[in-house]
């Protein structure tokens, strides 16, 4: 289902409008800089992953985009204008810290948030009923929130974020606290919204979700941007690695930066882990082996995971980011 | 603006859905009702019985006649008040009560009795009273002479009489107007009037001095009359002399017009409003505070603040809680008015002159202003406490000083206003914004200068503006900052923000 939906995703292009633009944004709290001179753009359409360790400044950045916080320096544009609540219905937001009015029913909650964003009562009611049905909560529509399980309450909150069918959906750590089944439901919803033309920005420090969903990524550490681009571009940040089985030492081959023999070879064959030089490719190395008659029994390339990319790019910064900032 | 009303409506509904709201709403009427019922049930029946055993058979009739005439004087006074209240003008002999309530003489009481007494007066009233006037209800007589109970020894001397009467002095006895406490037993010996003869009395432990004095005076008068007769004074002349009585009139101002009474009546309604303001703000302020803390602890504020501004949230909450307060107060006032006018008599007669204090449109407008402004000013203090508290336990630390800060000065204001509305203390409190609503409301009924009303009102308005400014900063700064301290100077800086 995920792959099918991904095929229908609207393509992004540089010519498209940017739904979110940050230009030199800094946010400081007493003696502490949460976001430091951050600039990036999110093009309209697709799914944008906002990655970083706990305390990297993701939540602060998203709060500034929603005008909950004001930047100390720099400018922000959301949907072509300064942050504010003028077009509240065009933005849906699922905060990391979730909570609902315990005495309100499921239906009342979703309608209330729809109306707070400017929807007429009838439209909010119709949209709320559709979403409640979609999330399998129809039989609990008139149940008070305080009597719901945590998972159901999280679905209600997601419905409240989606009730206006927003053009821009901002999800702050949306998978946190969800069980695998509900994580899957949420992934489906994210992909559905993207398919319907919405731009989805979600922050996470769990790279697997970003790997499955995101078209583009922004990686920040200590409030500063360390990477922005596609997943392939992100992987390109890591030196290519491969493993091969050969009779001879491949260290002297063109493009090989580093070769380490592994245990387990037999009959004169040795297993090697190869790190390529910057700019070198696995295909070029294979071509060289063929051309010079370098005997090979196996040749296997390794695709870097986002987790490895993350550790590579942000690893040095993470030591000081153990405590998350809530501001 | 629309979102503010949405927040206000949600706040209002949330508070109204709580049990504590309904308990509070019903508590005041219930307390008043219960106090009325218990007062009626527990109040002792008016009037006490008295037993007189007269071995001479000469003095008891005179004492009983004196008691009856005193009762007639009391009745005349009550008839006078009724006639004045309902503008009844009786005609004919024995209608001195038509002039209004005053001190009536014995001879007027005798004339009244001769003209038919209570029955005669009741007949005139039935004929003359307006349709809206309630039926005349006279108080019960203070003293009711009754025959000795059957087991009381009346022929065996004073000691035997006293001993047999003693058990009855501890309980109710049967009288023509129902069971009453036997308060006094009187034994007049056969040799009364001779040297050494003593009239003995037994009381129930709480001797009614008025009754004792009435009996003593009547016995004295009889003895002196006998002595004068023995001395050769002409009986006819003596009888004439006995009827001489100094004509004394005591004019009582109509209800609500005496200086002290007027002060009490005119301060009653404004003071009651000030008290209602205090109670309602304490309760609804606490609910609002709880609601805000719940929002913070449930971590749902971020969702709300993504839709509306902190100011819209603040104003919505204020409007919601003011609506709750107004509903409570309207319900209480409606109950009070209904109760007052459904019970004819003293309560209604008290409320009517009390309403005079707000009959002026300016005073009514000033009362309304101080009430609403006071509600707003104090609500914001509760809201500020909620905005900087992470939990109810945290809020309790602020609440106790806050409650003391409001209630202790309120008691001082109320008591000093009842003593002297223009005293130094009420005037000082009138210029302290958080106390001005209480002080000014309490003083408005008894006259406040326009300078004080306008000056104090403007100061209160300025204080509310400052509160809104600071509270707005507190909201923006603190709502998402659980566990972080606020710095006052930072809040007051022009560009202090989130």
What's the mean per-residue pLDDT of chain B?
81
| SS3 state at A179 | coil
Indicate if the alpha-carbon torsion angle B23, B29, B32, B35 is positive or negative: negative
Cβ proximity of A57 and A325 under 8 Å: yes
Q: What percent of chain A has pLDDT over 70?
A: 90
pLDDT tens digit sequence for B100-131: 877 787 778 888 888 888 888 888 888 888 88
Whole-angstrom Cα distance, residue B136 to residue B82? 7
What count of other Cβ atoms lies within 10 Å of the Cβ of residue B482?
A: 15
- Nearest CA distance, A3 vs chain B (angstrom): 31
Q: Which of A104, A113, A115 shows the shortest C-beta gap to B303? A: A113
State whether B194 and B95 are in the same domain.
yes
Q: Give the pairing of strands B180-188 and B48-54.
A: parallel
Whole-angstrom Cα distance, residue B424 to residue B417? 10
- Confidence category of residue B247, pLDDT binned at 50, 70, 90: low
Model pLDDT, residue A11:
44
**Chain B partners of A89 at a C-beta cutoff of 8 Å?**
none
Cβ proximity of B186 and B52 under 8 Å: yes
Whole-angstrom Cα distance, residue B247 to residue B278? 52
Q: Is the pLDDT of residue B13 over 80?
A: yes
Output the six-digit token pair for B60.
Answer: 């008891």
Domain count, chain B: 2
Cβ proximity of A213 and A187 under 8 Å: yes
Q: Is A117 at the interface with chain B, CB within 8 A?
A: yes
> In sequence order, what E strands does A44-145 have?
46-52, 73-78, 91-94
State whether B374 and B417 are in the same domain.
yes
Minimum CA–CA partner of B3 in chain A: A116
State whether B178 and B290 are in the same domain.
no
pTM summary value: 0.68
Task: Mark which of B213, B242, B271 sits at the end of a domain.
Answer: B242
Model pLDDT, residue A48:
93
Q: Is the pLDDT of residue B261 over 90?
A: no
Q: Is A121 at the interface with chain B, CB within 8 A?
A: no
State whether B51 and B30 are in the same domain.
no
DSSP run (H or E) holding B64: helix B59-85
Please judge whether B307 and A85 are an interchain contact, meaning their C-beta atoms are less than 8 angstroms apart: yes
Q: Which of A63, A85, A112 shows the shortest C-beta gap to B309? A: A85
What's the mean per-residue pLDDT of chain A?
84
> In sequence order, what E strands does B108-234 have?
143-146, 172-173, 180-188, 200-203
Output the six-digit token pair for A7.
Answer: 């095929």
Model pLDDT, residue B487:
54
Window 17-56 of A: residues touching B by CB (8 A cutoff) are none
Model pLDDT, residue B42:
65
Window 249-308 of A: residues touching B by CB (8 A cutoff) are none
Whole-angstrom Cα distance, residue B86 to residue B130? 7
Model pLDDT, residue A215:
84
Whole-angstrom Cα distance, residue B203 to residue B50? 9
Helix (DSSP H) and strand (DSSP E) numbers for chain B: 18, 5
Whole-angstrom Cα distance, residue B45 to residue B47? 7
Cβ proximity of A18 and A41 under 8 Å: yes
Whether B294 maps to a domain, the answer reads: yes
State whether B121 and B32 are in the same domain.
no
pLDDT tens digit sequence for B423-480: 888 889 999 998 999 888 888 877 788 888 899 999 999 999 999 998 888 887 776 6
Model pLDDT, residue B53:
92
Q: Give the pairing of strands B48-54 and B143-146.
A: parallel
Whether B41 maps to a domain, the answer reads: no
Whole-angstrom Cα distance, residue A85 to residue A107? 23
State whether B263 and B291 are in the same domain.
yes
Minimum CA–CA partner of B311 in chain A: A68
DSSP run (H or E) holding A233: helix A231-235
pLDDT tens digit sequence for A158-175: 999 999 999 999 998 888
pLDDT tens digit sequence for A68-116: 888 999 999 998 888 877 766 889 999 887 788 888 999 999 999 999 9
Q: Is A72 at the interface with chain B, CB within 8 A?
A: no
Q: What percent of chain B has pLDDT over 70?
A: 85
- Confidence category of residue B44, pLDDT binned at 50, 70, 90: low
Model pLDDT, residue B356:
61
Whole-angstrom Cα distance, residue B414 to residue B267? 9
Whole-angstrom Cα distance, residue B357 to residue B420? 16
Whether B438 maps to a domain, the answer reads: yes
Q: What is the DSSP letter of A144?
A: B
Q: Is the pLDDT of residue A4 over 50?
A: no
DSSP B123-149: HHHHHHS-TTSPPP-PPPPSEEEEPPP
Whether B113 maps to a domain, the answer reads: yes
State whether B152 and B131 are in the same domain.
yes
State whether B345 and B397 are in the same domain.
yes
State whether B156 and B66 are in the same domain.
yes
Q: What is the DSSP letter of A105?
A: B
- Confidence category of residue B8, pLDDT binned at 50, 70, 90: very high
Q: Is A97 at the interface with chain B, CB within 8 A?
A: yes
Minimum CA–CA partner of B490 in chain A: A30
Q: Is the pLDDT of residue B84 over 90?
A: no
Whether B379 maps to a domain, the answer reads: yes
Between A236-245, B50-59, B68-77, the lowest mean confidence (pLDDT) is in A236-245
Whole-angstrom Cα distance, residue B36 to residue A10? 76
Supply the range of the domain harboring residue B99: 47-242
Task: Mark which of B215, B242, B269 sits at the end of a domain.
Answer: B242
pLDDT tens digit sequence for A114-151: 999 989 999 999 999 999 998 889 999 999 998 988 88
pLDDT tens digit sequence for B162-212: 999 998 887 888 888 888 888 899 999 988 888 888 899 998 887 788 889
Whole-angstrom Cα distance, residue B319 to residue B468? 13
State whether B221 and B338 are in the same domain.
no
> In sequence order, what E strands does chain A have?
18-29, 32-43, 46-52, 73-78, 91-94, 168-172, 199-204, 216-221, 224-230, 241-246, 256-262, 270-276, 296-302
Q: Which of B17, B302, B308 shows the shortest C-beta gap to A95? A: B302
pLDDT tens digit sequence for B204-243: 887 788 889 999 988 988 888 888 888 888 877 777 777 6
Model pLDDT, residue B349:
59
Please judge whether B302 and A68 are an interchain contact, meaning their C-beta atoms are less than 8 angstroms apart: yes
Q: Is the pLDDT of residue A314 over 80?
A: no
What count of other Cβ atoms lies within 10 Å of the Cβ of residue B377?
A: 22
pLDDT tens digit sequence for A7-58: 434 444 445 688 899 999 999 887 788 999 999 999 988 899 998 888 888 9
Of the candidates B86, A36, B80, the residue with the CA atom closest to the CA atom of residue B94: B80
Residue owning tokens 């300078």: B451
State whether B220 and B306 are in the same domain.
no
Whether B325 maps to a domain, the answer reads: yes
Look at A97 and B146; give whichever has higher pLDDT: B146
Task: Mark which of B242, B274, B304 sits at the end of a domain.
Answer: B242
Q: Is the pLDDT of residue B485 over 60?
A: no
Whole-angstrom Cα distance, residue B99 to residue B215? 30
Whole-angstrom Cα distance, residue A119 to residue B450? 48
Whether B158 maps to a domain, the answer reads: yes
Model pLDDT, residue B130:
84
Give B451: exposed, middle or buried? Use CB within 10 Å, 0-12, 13-18, 19+.
exposed
Please judge whether B481 and A327 are an interchain contact, meaning their C-beta atoms are less than 8 angstroms apart: yes
Whether B21 maps to a domain, the answer reads: yes
Please judge whether B298 and A102 are an interchain contact, meaning their C-beta atoms are less than 8 angstroms apart: yes
Rounded (5°) CA angle B414-B418-B423: 90
Whole-angstrom Cα distance, residue A172 to residue B387? 24
- Nearest CA distance, B472 vs chain A (angstrom): 14
Whole-angstrom Cα distance, residue B129 to residue B125? 5
Q: Is A73 at the interface with chain B, CB within 8 A?
A: no
Model pLDDT, residue B109:
84
Q: Is the pLDDT of residue B370 over 60?
A: yes
| SS3 state at A24 | strand
Indicate if the alpha-carbon torsion angle A203, A207, A211, A212 is positive or negative: negative
Whole-angstrom Cα distance, residue B158 to residue B188? 8
* Mean pLDDT, residues B35-52: 75
Cβ proximity of A313 and A227 under 8 Å: yes
Whole-angstrom Cα distance, residue B34 to residue B39? 8
The dihedrals phi and psi of A196, each to the nearest 5 degrees, come to: -75, 0
Please judge whether A63 and B302 are an interchain contact, meaning their C-beta atoms are less than 8 angstroms apart: yes
Please judge whether A116 and B299 are an interchain contact, meaning their C-beta atoms are less than 8 angstroms apart: no
State whether B54 and B32 are in the same domain.
no
Model pLDDT, residue A230:
86
Please judge whether A327 and B480 are an interchain contact, meaning their C-beta atoms are less than 8 angstroms apart: yes
**Chain A partners of B309 at a C-beta cutoff of 8 Å?**
67, 85
């Amino acid at each position: 289902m995920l792959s099918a939906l991904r095929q229908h995703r609207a393509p992004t292009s540089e010519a498209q409008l940017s739904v979110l633009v940050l230009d030199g944004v800094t946010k400081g709290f007493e003696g502490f800089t949460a976001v430091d001179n951050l600039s990036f753009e999110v093009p309209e359409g697709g799914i944008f992953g906002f990655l970083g360790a706990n305390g990297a400044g993701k939540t602060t950045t998203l709060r500034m985009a929603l005008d909950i916080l004001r930047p100390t320096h720099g400018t922000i544009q959301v949907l072509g204008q300064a942050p504010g609540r003028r077009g509240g219905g065009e933005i849906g937001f699922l905060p990391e810290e979730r909570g609902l009015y315990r005495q309100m029913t499921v239906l009342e909650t979703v309608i209330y948030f729809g109306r707070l964003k400017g929807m007429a009562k009838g439209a909010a009611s119709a949209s709320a009923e559709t979403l409640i049905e979609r999330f399998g909560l129809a039989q609990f529509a008139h149940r008070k929130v305080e009597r719901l399980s945590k998972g159901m309450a999280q679905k209600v909150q997601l419905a409240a974020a989606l009730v206006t069918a927003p053009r821009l959906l901002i999800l702050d750590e949306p998978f946190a606290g969800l069980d695998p089944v509900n994580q899957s439901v949420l992934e489906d919803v994210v992909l559905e919204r993207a398919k319907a033309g919405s731009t989805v920005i979600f922050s996470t420090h769990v790279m697997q979700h970003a790997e499955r969903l995101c078209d583009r990524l922004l990686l920040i550490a200590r409030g500063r941007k360390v990477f922005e681009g596609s997943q392939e571009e992100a992987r390109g940040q890591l030196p290519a690695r491969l493993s091969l089985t050969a009779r001879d030492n491949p260290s002297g081959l063109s493009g090989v930066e580093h070769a380490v023999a592994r245990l387990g070879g037999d009959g004169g064959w040795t297993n090697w882990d190869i790190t390529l030089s910057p700019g070198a490719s696995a295909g070029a190395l294979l071509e060289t082996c063929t051309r010079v008659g370098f005997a090979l029994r196996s040749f296997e390339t390794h695709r870097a995971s986002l987790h490895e990319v993350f550790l590579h790019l942000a690893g040095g910064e993470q030591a000081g980011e153990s405590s998350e900032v809530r501001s | 603006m629309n979102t503010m009303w949405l927040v206000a409506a949600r706040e209002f509904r949330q508070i109204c859905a709580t049990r504590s709201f309904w308990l509070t709403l019903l508590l005041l009427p219930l307390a008043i009702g219960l106090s009325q019922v218990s007062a009626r049930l527990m109040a002792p029946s008016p009037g006490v019985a008295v037993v007189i055993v007269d071995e001479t058979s000469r003095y008891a009739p005179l004492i009983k006649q004196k008691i009856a005439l005193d009762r007639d004087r009391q009745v005349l006074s009550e008839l006078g008040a009724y006639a004045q209240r309902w503008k009844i003008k009786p005609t004919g002999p024995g209608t001195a009560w038509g002039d209004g309530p005053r001190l009536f003489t014995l001879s007027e009481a005798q004339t009244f009795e001769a003209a038919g007494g209570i029955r005669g007066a009741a007949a005139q009233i039935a004929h003359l009273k307006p349709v809206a006037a309630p039926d005349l209800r006279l108080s019960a007589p203070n003293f009711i002479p009754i025959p000795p109970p059957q087991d009381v020894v009346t022929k065996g001397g004073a000691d035997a009489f006293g001993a047999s009467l003693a058990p009855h002095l501890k309980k109710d006895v049967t009288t023509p107007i129902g069971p009453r406490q036997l308060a006094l037993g009187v034994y007049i010996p056969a040799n009364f009037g001779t040297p050494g003869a003593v009239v003995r009395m037994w009381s129930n432990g709480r001797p009614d001095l008025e009754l004792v004095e009435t009996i003593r005076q009547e016995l004295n008068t009889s003895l002196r009359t006998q002595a004068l007769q023995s001395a050769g004074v002409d009986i006819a002349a003596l009888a004439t002399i006995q009827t001489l009585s100094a004509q004394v009139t005591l004019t009582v101002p109509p209800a609500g017009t005496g200086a002290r009474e007027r002060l009490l009546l005119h301060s009653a309604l404004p003071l009651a409003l000030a008290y209602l303001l205090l109670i309602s703000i304490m309760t609804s302020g606490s609910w609002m505070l709880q609601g805000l803390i719940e929002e913070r602890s449930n971590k749902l504020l971020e969702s709300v603040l993504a839709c509306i501004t902190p100011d819209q949230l603040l104003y919505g909450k204020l409007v919601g809680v003011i609506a709750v307060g107004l509903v409570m107060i309207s319900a209480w006032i409606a109950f009070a008015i209904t109760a007052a006018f459904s019970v004819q008599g003293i309560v209604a007669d008290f409320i009517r002159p009390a309403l005079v204090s707000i009959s002026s449109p300016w005073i009514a407008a000033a009362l309304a202003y101080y009430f609403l402004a006071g509600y707003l000013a104090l609500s914001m203090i509760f809201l500020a406490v909620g905005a900087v508290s992470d939990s109810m336990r945290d809020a309790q630390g602020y609440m106790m000083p806050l409650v003391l800060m409001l209630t202790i000065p309120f008691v001082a204001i109320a008591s000093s206003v009842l003593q002297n509305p223009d005293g130094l203390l009420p005037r000082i409190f009138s210029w302290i914004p958080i106390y001005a609503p209480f002080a000014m409301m309490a003083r408005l009924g008894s006259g406040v200068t326009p300078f004080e009303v306008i000056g104090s009102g403007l100061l209160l308005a300025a204080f509310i503006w400052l509160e809104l400014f600071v509270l707005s900063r507190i909201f923006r700064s603190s709502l998402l900052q659980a566990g972080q301290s606020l710095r006052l100077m930072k809040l007051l800086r022009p560009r202090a923000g989130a």
